[in-house]
Amino acid sequence: MSPPTCRLLELEAPWRHPELIAQIDAIFWQTAARTFAPGAERDAFRERWLGRYLRGGDVVLVALAEGAGVVGYLVGALTNPSAEARFADIAYFAEDFAALTWRFPAHLHINLDAGFRSQGIGAALIEAFAARAKRAGAAGMHAVTGKGQRNVGFYVRCGFSERAAAIWNGREIVFLGREL
């Protein structure tokens, strides 16, 4: 099967695109490792990993495939999260990785629809974010994931390397940093 024709778009004012946000949400819940009953816990989970990046001021990139709409997204922030009160709920920034977030301040969360993985779309989203973060003056960028997860190989091929590990919520996580 040949890869789909895909274009990347940055949503500078995400609230103006409710139909695209709905598609981002669908991918977010499809890839979430947990399921939730409707309620405060579910809302807090979405807010932590997606919602807060959609209000403007952060980076929102979508991959659009012809005839399929949004098939993947990347959300991220450009400045050091361990120095920002709005990320205080994610303890690993300040408690485990603060020395590294100064060197690799931009951070990202990326997810693709299952039918569109392993076709290079994720790597294209990472390169678009890298260019965006570099333009904004970030010295580096990072992602945090579970140690030994399949996506670690993806980040390494995108130029990241493992800089540190920690235990968070009872599981081993790794900090993957790339200089810009």
Ligand X SMILES: CC(C)(COP(=O)(O)OP(=O)(O)OC[C@H]1O[C@@H](n2cnc3c(N)ncnc32)[C@H](O)[C@@H]1OP(=O)(O)O)[C@@H](O)C(=O)NCCC(=O)NCCS
Q: How far is the CB of 149 from ligand X (least distance, A)?
A: 6
Residues 6-65 that bind ligand X (CB under 6 A): 31
Q: Looking at 110, 130, 174, 180, which residue binds ligand X (CB under 6 A)?
A: 110
Q: Is 122 in the site for ligand X (CB under 6 A)?
A: yes
Q: Is 80 in the site for ligand X (CB under 6 A)?
A: no
Residues 161-180 that bind ligand X (CB under 6 A): none
Instruction: Pull the structure tokens for residue 91.
Output: 């303890």
Q: With CB under 6 A as the contact rule, which of the stretches 41-49, 81-89, 113-121, 160-168 interacts with ligand X? A: 113-121
Residues 128-147 that bind ligand X (CB under 6 A): 143, 145
Instruction: Pull the structure tokens for residue 30.
Output: 């499809």
Could you give the dihedral angle defined by the CA atoms of residues 157, 34, 167 and 155, in that order, rounded to the nearest 10 degrees?
10
Q: How far is the CB of 121 from ligand X (least distance, A)?
A: 4
> Which CB, 33 or 40, lies closer to ligand X?
33
Q: What is the DSSP string of 68-137?
A: TEEEEEEEEE-S-GGG-GGGTTSHHHHHTSHHHHHHS-EEEEEEE-GGG-SSSHHHHHHHHHHHHHHHTT
Is residue 59 within 8 A of residue 75, CB to CB? The reply is: yes
Q: Looking at 34, 86, 150, 171, which residue binds ligand X (CB under 6 A)?
A: 150
Q: Looking at 87, 97, 154, 160, which residue binds ligand X (CB under 6 A)?
A: 154
Instruction: Pull the structure tokens for residue 119.
Output: 């076709």
3-class SS of residue 179 = strand
Binding site for ligand X (CB under 6 A): 31, 110-112, 117-123, 143, 145, 150-151, 153-154
